[in-house]
Amino acid sequence: MLRILVFPKGNGNDCLSVYLDVPDSAGLEYGWSRYAQFGISVISQIHTRYTIRKDTQHDFNARESDWGFTSLMPLSELHDPNRRFLVNDTCIIEANVSVRVTVSHPLYDSKKETGFVGLNNQGASCYLNSLIQTLYHLPYFRKAVCHTPITENDMPSGSIPLALQNLFSELQSSDNTVTSKEFMEAFGWITYNSFPQHDVKEFFRTLFEKLEEKMKKLFEGHHVDFIECINVNYKSTRRGLFYDLQLDVKGCRDVYAALDKYVEKECLKGDNKYHAGSYGLQDAKKGLLFIDLPPILPIHLKRFEYDFIRDTMVKLNDYFEFPLELDLDIEGGKYLLPEAGRGDKNLYTLHSVLVHSGGVHGGHYSAFIRPNLSHQWYKFDDERVTKVDAKEALEEQYGSKELLQTNSGLNDYQKCSNAYMLVYIRESEKEKIMCNESLRSDDGQKEQNKKDEEYLTVKVAIDEDIKQHRDLDLVDHDKVKSFHIQRQEPFQLLKEKVASEFGVPVKCQRFWLWAKHQNHTRRLNGPLTHVEEGQTIGQLKEASNNTFDEVLKLFLEVELGSDLHPIPPPNKTEDDILLFFKLYDPEIEELRIVGRLFVKSTSKPTDIFAKLNAMVGYAPDEEIELYEEMKFGANVACERIEPNSTFQSTKVRGSKHREMHLQDYLLLASRMEVCVGSFSLATSNGVFDALVT
C-alpha cells in the first residue's frame, strides 16, 4: 500500500512537494522491494489543460521507502487564481500507480560479482553517475585525469580536476559503493541541486568546458558548414569543432539514417535565398561535412522535443537502431569533405550505451558498458553493477515500434527504456584509448589482491570519537582507529591489540556491532555474544550482517570506576537499553553529542532527567524535553518523547535479534527557559515550526 505525502509549503524550496510513501515499510519482510511506475497530478478545477502531471518510477525498498517530486510545481502557480488549483481551500492531487514485484538481492556485492563498484544516487544524480562511469571506463581519459597537475592549494570542493581524480581513485580502489558528493560540490551543486534531474548532454558539455585541452582532444572533431550557390560560382565555408554529435531519432530508423539527415543539404530558395555578396540574392544549398572525426565519438540521440500541437515537451520512444560496429567511411565517405584526409579509417566500435527509462518529467539513467570492449556487457545502475548480455544492452534499448500507452495511462517501463547517448571508439586507436589499464588485474596484481583479501580492516570507535563528532551521524568512521588483521585470526587477538592501543584491559572491553538504518545512519546493533567473540575475525564479519562495506566496524564500550579507571562492564539484560544523547542549543544553533546512558525499558524519561541535567551542567530541576531522532534532511526529523511514558511504550527499543536493545539516539532539546525563539522540527506526520517559551 502506498500513501501520498504532501508538503503544501514546499520541502525546503518554493515548490509544491509531493511523494509516494510505503507507510508500513518497517514491518515488511527483510529485503522487500516493489518497483512502481507512477504519475502524480495536481488537478485544475476549471479546465484539464491546466492540470500538472509528472511521471517517474522507483524501486521502493527499506532504504528508500518514499519517492516523488521535491519540485512538482511552483507555489506561485499553485496559488494562481486563473488556474483554479485551489478552490474553497481544497486541492485535488491524484496518483496513478503501476506496481510490480522485483526480485531483491540485499546481499549482492557488485565488486565481488563483477569487479566494479557503483555510485551512490545523491537524490536524482543517476544522469551524472551513468556518464561518470562511462568516462571512467575509458582508461586513456582516466589516465589523463590522474596526471592533471594539481597545486597544493587546490581543494576537492573547489577543483573539478582534483575532485574527479579523487572520484576515479575511489572507483578503482574501493570495495564498496562510492559517493559523488565531493565531485558535485566542485561543480557548485549544493544539496538541493542534486534532486532536479539534469540532462546528460548539459552535464557533458559543462564538464568539458572545465577540462584541460589534452582531455578534450580525445573527443575533438572538425566539420565545415558551407553554403554553395546553384546558379553562380560562389561558395562560403566556415570551419568548426565539436565534441559530440546530436542526431535526430524522429523519422530515422537507425544511426546511418540520422547521419544522412545530419549532412542533408538544405535548399535556400524564395524568401530564404542566400545573399552572395556582389551576386545578390541567390538560390543555394546549405550543408555540413566532416573534416575529421575524433578518437572517441559520443552521439546524443534527440529523445526529447517540443510538441507544438500539445504545447509541451514529449519524449520520443521511437524505434532507433545503433550498430556494434559503425562505419563512417561508407559509400566513399559521403559524410566527409571530399578534400579531407583519408589516412585514418573511420571505423568505430561501440563502448557504452547510456539509457533513459521513464517519461519527459522524470525518469532514470543507467549505463551499459564494455570496459574491455569484450563480448561481456555490464549494467551500471547507480549502486548496483551487474553482468548483462548483449541483447539487453543493444536490441532492448532500440525503443518501441508499438503503442506505448497502457490501460492505466502509464508508459510501460520496458518500452520507455531506450538509448539516449552512445559512445564509440575508433578501431585504429582502441589500443591507445584502452591502454591496457583495465580494472581487470594481471597475474601479479591478482596475487596481490589475493594477499589483501586475507586481511580485514577493523575500525574501533570509542566514546571520545563520538563526543568529538559534530555532524549528523554518531561518529565519523574515517577518523577512528583502524586495525589490520588477518581474517583467520581469533577475535581475542583484536582485544589484545585494543588493550595495547587504548590501555583498556581485555576483561574491561565490551564490543558492539554497527548496523546501517533506513535513514542512512549507522547505529549500534547490539553487543557481541560470547559465541561471536569465540569466532575468527573473518567469521565475525561474515555473520555480522554489516553489509554496507567490507570493513568490520565496532564500538568499544568502556565503563569507568570511581577512580576513573576501566572496570569490567556490568551485566545487562534485554530490559536494558543503551541511548546516546544530543544537546540542541538554540542560542548558538549547535547540535552536539553529550553522552550515553543505560536505561530500563520500564523506566520513564522523567527518571533520568536529573542525570541528563548533570551531564550537560544544568541544575537538577531544569525543565527539559526529549525527542527521538528519526531521520536526517533539510530539517531534523524527530518525534517528541512523552516524559511520563515508559521507554518501552514509546517504542524506543532496538533489534529483536540481539542480547540487548538499542534504538536511535535521543535528542535532548534544551532547557526550556533558554529556548526563546523558534526552531524547525519534523514529525512523522509532517513539518512544523515549534515555538519554545
Residues labelled catalytic:
126, 364
CA distance 131 to 156: 19
Tell me the CA distances in angstroms from 516 to 65, 355, 524, one per residue in order.
15, 30, 9
Task: Please enumerate in sequence order all residues whose Cβ is within 8 A of that of 271, keeping only pairs 6 or more positions apart, or say none.
Answer: none
The three cell numbers of residue 264 are 542533408
Are the C-beta atoms of residues 402 and 395 closer than 8 Å to each other?
Answer: no
Are the C-beta atoms of residues 161 and 212 closer than 8 Å to each other?
Answer: yes
CA distance 653 to 628: 11
Tell me the CA distances in angstroms from 609 to 308, 451, 618, 624, one per residue in order.
66, 53, 10, 8
Residue 280, class by beta-carbon neighbours within 10 Å (0-12 exposed, 13-18 middle, 19+ buried)? Answer: exposed
H or E, element range at 485: strand 481-486
Are the C-beta atoms of residues 654 and 662 closer than 8 Å to each other?
Answer: yes
Written as one letter, the residue type at 354 is: L
Written as one letter, the residue type at 7 is: F
Tell me the CA distances in angstroms from 266 to 189, 229, 252, 305, one per residue in order.
41, 12, 17, 21
Phi, psi of 341 (to 5 degrees): -65, 150
Tell me the CA distances in angstroms from 180 to 24, 86, 125, 126, one per residue in order.
31, 40, 9, 10
Q: Which of 548, 599, 555 is closest to 466 using CA atoms?
A: 555
Written as one letter, the residue type at 130 is: S
H or E, element range at 352: strand 347-359
Residue 451, class by beta-carbon neighbours within 10 Å (0-12 exposed, 13-18 middle, 19+ buried)? Answer: exposed
Task: Please enumerate in sequence order all residues whose Cβ is within 8 A of that of 642, keeping only pairs 6 or more positions apart, or say none.
Answer: 605, 650
Written as one letter, the residue type at 550 is: E
Are the C-beta atoms of residues 494 and 486 closer than 8 Å to each other?
Answer: no
Sign, Cα dihedral of 135, 139, 144, 146: positive
Residue 410, class by beta-carbon neighbours within 10 Å (0-12 exposed, 13-18 middle, 19+ buried)? Answer: buried
Which segments of 349-490 does DSSP mark as H helices, in order? 390-393, 430-434, 443-453, 463-468
The three cell numbers of residue 447 are 596475487
Phi, psi of 559 (to 5 degrees): -105, 140
Written as one letter, the residue type at 132 is: I
The three cell numbers of residue 526 are 547490539
Task: Please enumerate in sequence order all residues whose Cβ is within 8 A of that of 148, keeping only pairs 6 or more positions apart, or say none.
Answer: 161, 165, 212, 215
Dihedral Cα 523, 525, 530, 533, nearest 10 deg = -50
